[in-house]
Amino acid sequence: MAFRFKKSESATQGVRRLCRERIRVARSFLQASGHPVAVYGVRKEIKKLRALLRLVRGEIGTSAFRKCTKALRAAAVCLAATRDARVMLLALEKIAGQNATRRFPEIQKVLQKNYRARTREFRGGNSVTMADRILKKTGRRLRGLKIKASSWAAIEPGLRQGYRRGREACRLARKEPSSEHLHEWRKHVKDLWFYFCLLSPAWPAAMRGRTDDLGLLGVQLGDDHDLFLLQQYVSDATEGPLKEAVAVTRLIETRRSQLRRDTLRLGSQLYTETPDVFCRQLEKHWKIWRKAG
């Protein structure tokens, strides 16, 4: 069930179909929510939905957009604590390798304890029921969405705005690569990557390579944010200048420094065009695709 537009459908048909599919997939993940990968799957589907709604925000109206995105954000929040606890464990393994248990036994023990506690709360609470109820209600609301414009005119304004905001966030991150600026930039990178996935059937080989690069940039920025969460947690959960905490912090800072260099270099390559030039390129590929047999 690929996240992409079809050549034969109108903008309204495409958006409605994609919303139905993403809601269905997200709710199916919730049925297996006891597994950490399922929680990740639900949150990813919610991100796709929110990106799609941002793409056509100008067409569906401010009221519908705000109601739906607010509800989807609430559903994602229901699953956030378990996700954060898991990614901090994974982040430690990434920077420490297979020797994480031997090198940092106390910190890993604290992280595992936190993950088990968050998992128990999640399984024993009503987060899954709440998230499913929100998704079901949002799905009913999305069934009636109407797109005013047709074809390219329906999506060009959202593409332009998404690219422009990502370009501005990249410029700000280059000027001041703080955790907050990098995380904000990541949101726009993920949106643009989702847009490229939606439009991928129209892309020539070169544009598909750009889709892959956007995906890589999003992963790198995500890794940086996960390390930021780990760094905060290690700092808050330990007392005194513990050797493990000092060593982990040093590893985190080294890896984040490398990630910042990589993301800023790749981002500079991906955000070179002005929004006008960017949109004209995509429009040309889109119209060729739509006219092809």
Same domain, 185 and 284: yes
Nearest to 291 by CA among 147, 151, 148, 149: 151
222, with CB counted inside 10 A (0-12, 13-18, 19+), is middle
Can you give the pLDDT at residue 38?
83
How many domains does one find in the chain?
Answer: 2
What percentage of the chain has pLDDT greater than the value 70? Answer: 97
How far, in Å, CA of 266 to CA of 259, rounded?
10
Compute the chain's Rg from CA coordinates.
Answer: 21
Domain boundary among 94, 115, 150: 150
171, with CB counted inside 10 A (0-12, 13-18, 19+), is middle
| Alpha-helix residue ranges (DSSP H) falling in 148-204 | 152-175, 179-198
Tokens of 263: 């993301």
Same domain, 58 and 171: no
Same domain, 70 and 28: yes
- Computed over every residue of the chain, the mean pLDDT equals 91
What percentage of the chain has pLDDT greater than the value 90? Answer: 69
Can you give the pLDDT at residue 172?
97
Same domain, 101 and 177: no
Task: Name the residue range of residue 254's domain.
Answer: 151-293
Same domain, 95 and 55: yes
Q: Count of alpha carbons within 13 Å of 196, Cβ hemisphere only? A: 24
Same domain, 164 and 30: no
- pTM metric for this prediction: 0.92
**Range of weakest confidence among 107-121, 210-224, 271-285:** 107-121
Domain boundary among 150, 182, 217: 150
Can you give the pLDDT at residue 240?
47
Can you give the pLDDT at residue 70?
96
Same domain, 207 and 144: no
Same domain, 265 and 208: yes
**Range of weakest confidence among 3-12, 177-186, 253-262:** 3-12
Same domain, 28 and 99: yes
Domain boundary among 150, 182, 209: 150
Same domain, 172 and 73: no
Whether 241 shows a pLDDT value over 60: the answer reads: no
**What are the tens digits of pLDDT across the range 39-74?**
889 999 999 999 999 999 999 989 999 999 999 999
Q: What is the dihedral of CA 235, 239, 243, 249, to 10 degrees?
A: 0
**What are the tens digits of pLDDT across the range 187-218?**
999 999 999 999 999 888 888 899 999 999 99
Instruction: Report CA 264 to chain centroid distance, whole Å.
Output: 18
Same domain, 111 and 40: yes
Nearest to 256 by CA among 210, 285, 225: 225
